[in-house]
Amino acid sequence: MENKKIIIIGGGPAGLAAAIEANNAGIAPDDILILERDRELGGILNQCIHAGFGLHMFGEELTGPEYAGRFIDIVKERNIGYLCDAMVLSVSAEREVSFVSPTEGFCRVKAGAIVLAMGCRERTRGALNIAGSRPAGIYSAGTAQRYVNIDGYLPGKRVVILGSGDIGLIMARRMTLEGAKVLRVCELMPYSGGLPRNIAQCLDDFDIPLYLSHTVTGIHGKERLEGVTVAKVGDDRRPIAGTEEYIECDTLLLSVGLLPENELTREAGITIDRITGGAQVDETMQTSIPGIFACGNVLHVHDLVDFVTKEAYRAGASAAKFVNEGGSTPTGSTLQTEGKNGVRYVMPQKINADGALTTETTLFFRVDNIYRDKFVTLSVDGTEIFRRKKRFLEPGQMENITLSEDAVKAIRSGKTVTVALA
Amino acid sequence: MSIIKKTCIVCPIGCHLEAEVSDSGEILSVSGNTCKRGETYIRDEVTNPRRTLTSTVKLTGAKYDKFLPVKTDGAISKGRLFEAMEILSGITVTAPIKRGDVIVENFLGEGVALVAGKTVE
């Protein structure tokens, strides 16, 4: 069986950054192998042709292909190993990776360390159980995005969008610019899951109405979608009888959430976090299996690729360290992190007291509702270490806390780290 | 006097901006911004709103890609976005193309260039 020091599964923004940082940390380019199932590197960024990427990393607004291109250029310049059209079939706890590719056939490679960077996929109509027939014209927003931006096809002319996540908002603008009429965006929740600026520049700019607390309850049409039934929902998120409205349309786009793609992770026996849908990791991005790391949307869904890149740098550096130090793992005590009082989850889920913990360690979290004028607090074993005032907190925006020196000190002798709103 | 409320689109923070505008259309004050660019943004929004346009143009001669992502390298008048889309639908470029290559200079006479967003061999 062939050996590689580091195998990276997924050649999107997470995988590219992990590969580059592993190389920076001294792993030779040909000891790294990125396995990408698409025909080219770049992942989902290739179809995200809108601007808004890279403000944190580069201080400028890039389009998705531009952002990916900067990392692809580095990977190619340094001759870091990668294989496209390569579908990974399994990852084992012993760090064996099997994959198939049209050029290489079936391969098994033993890795010194593995970085999981498979990204996420979209929730589908099946996951929502919308009643009605099964006509053509119903797409996940990301699929429609690929049709329009990569393949050059407009999926329809009269469009209803269910879900106000960023991809749905971006597609409302994109379809409008390409000549379709976007009739409305319906959102089940009383608030949007998308970035506020996308509501402004994708909906408000084109007078596309956003119906909060509304959902699609019926799909009509035989061969092609002819219309949808939309209804208002109550506080229990169930449709309210008598509020149904029929809307004639030929296309329904679903932008109803992203799910980290963790089939390989589960099969390897890695512990999954019930809330994020991704692996549980420590501050080095290591999963419950030593030598297997995770980063990017496969770990938890991000709203900004910049944070994916930063997380992936950490995973790449940690994977390189694991290999360079012969597979050593932290030996000290492990703290758990938790979210309380409106904090839905905290990532990483574990912190090693003697690990790579520094004042550069960042905790990421999301809130479960819209909050105004709240304090974000960080406590260790119930003692508050730090608080910061926030004017707006929204579920659509991932928040972070970078550890202060006091926090690092307290964490070193603690058991539980709590992020909460006060 | 009136108050104009806008969500800032300059960066992902999305500040909730407010501009106090006099009856003659003059901006009296700006609040809610956390940086200078937010103030510039709402001043432009009140007078001449501008947007960066991203789209695709037809591409020939590439191994896989049939469309090339493009963007204006600065903002153009918001009211001219559909006019710009019309022009893009008539453009075809040929590979190889490098990211940043200028496809149209002084696009729409707006003083910005239309540039390639992707390197295609």
Asked if pLDDT for residue A158 goes beyond 80, the answer is yes
* Strand intervals (E) in A240-320: 245-248, 251-254, 258-260, 292-294
State how far residue A188 is from chain B, nearest Cα, in angstroms.
Answer: 22
Q: How confident is the model at residue B2 (pLDDT cuts 50, 70, 90)?
A: confident
State how far residue A408 is from chain B, nearest Cα, in angstroms.
Answer: 27
State how far residue A166 is from chain B, nearest Cα, in angstroms.
Answer: 11
Which residues lie across from A160 on neighbouring strands? A184, A252
Domain with CATH 3.50.50.60 in chain A: 1-121+258-329, 124-256
Encoded tokens for A250: 């030929």
What is the pLDDT averaged over residues A4-15? 98
User: Whole-number mean pLDDT of chain A?
Assistant: 93
Question: Considering only CB atoms, which chain B residues are within 8 Å of A49?
Answer: 54-56, 69, 71, 117
Q: Omega of the bond prior to A209 within 30 degrees of 0, cis?
A: no
Q: Considering only alpha carbons, which residue of chain B is nearest residue A40?
A: B64
Question: Considering only CB atoms, which chain B residues are within 8 Å of A303?
Answer: 12
**Chain A within 8 Å of B79 (Cβ-Cβ)?**
no
- The CA distance from B58 to B37, in Å, is 34
Residue A193 CA: distances (Å) to CA of A70, A211, A242, B34: 29, 13, 26, 22
What is the pLDDT averaged over residues A166-192? 95
Encoded tokens for A2: 């062939």
Asked if pLDDT for residue A340 goes beyond 70, the answer is yes
pLDDT of residue A356: 64
Phi/psi at A259 (nearest 5 deg)? -120, 120
Do the Cβ atoms of B64 and A39 come within 8 Å?
yes
Span of A84-93, A120-129, A303-312, A352-361 with lowest mean pLDDT: A352-361
Domain with CATH 2.60.40 in chain A: 330-422
Asked if pLDDT for residue A358 goes beyond 80, the answer is no
- Taking the model in full, what pTM does it have? 0.92
| CATH superfamily of domain region B54-116 | CPE0013-like (3.10.530.10)
Cβ distance A251 to A180 under 8 Å? Answer: yes
**Chain A within 8 Å of B43 (Cβ-Cβ)?**
no
Encoded tokens for A130: 């919308």
Asked if pLDDT for residue B100 goes beyond 80, the answer is yes
CATH number for A124-256 (one of 3.50.50.60, 3.40.50.1820, 3.90.1150.110, 2.60.40.10): it is 3.50.50.60
- A15-53, pLDDT tens digit by residue? 999 999 999 999 999 999 999 999 999 999 999 999 989
What is the pLDDT averaged over residues A339-356? 87
SS3 A69: helix
**Mutation for testing the A interface, residue in B18, B37, B80, B118 having most A CBs under 10 Å:** B118
Its CATH class, for the domain covering A330-422, is mainly beta
What is the pLDDT averaged over residues A111-132? 90
**Chain A within 8 Å of B37 (Cβ-Cβ)?**
no
- The CA distance from A83 to A283, in Å, is 29
What is the pLDDT averaged over residues A297-319? 95
**Chain A within 8 Å of B62 (Cβ-Cβ)?**
no
CATH topology of domain A1-121+258-329: FAD/NAD(P)-binding domain (3.50.50)
SS3 A47: helix
For residue A134, which of A125, A123, A147 has the smallest C-alpha distance?
A125
Encoded tokens for A343: 């904090």
- B43-91, pLDDT tens digit by residue? 888 888 999 999 999 999 999 999 999 999 999 999 999 999 999 999 9
What is the pLDDT averaged over residues A344-365? 84
Domain with CATH 3.10.530.10 in chain B: 54-116
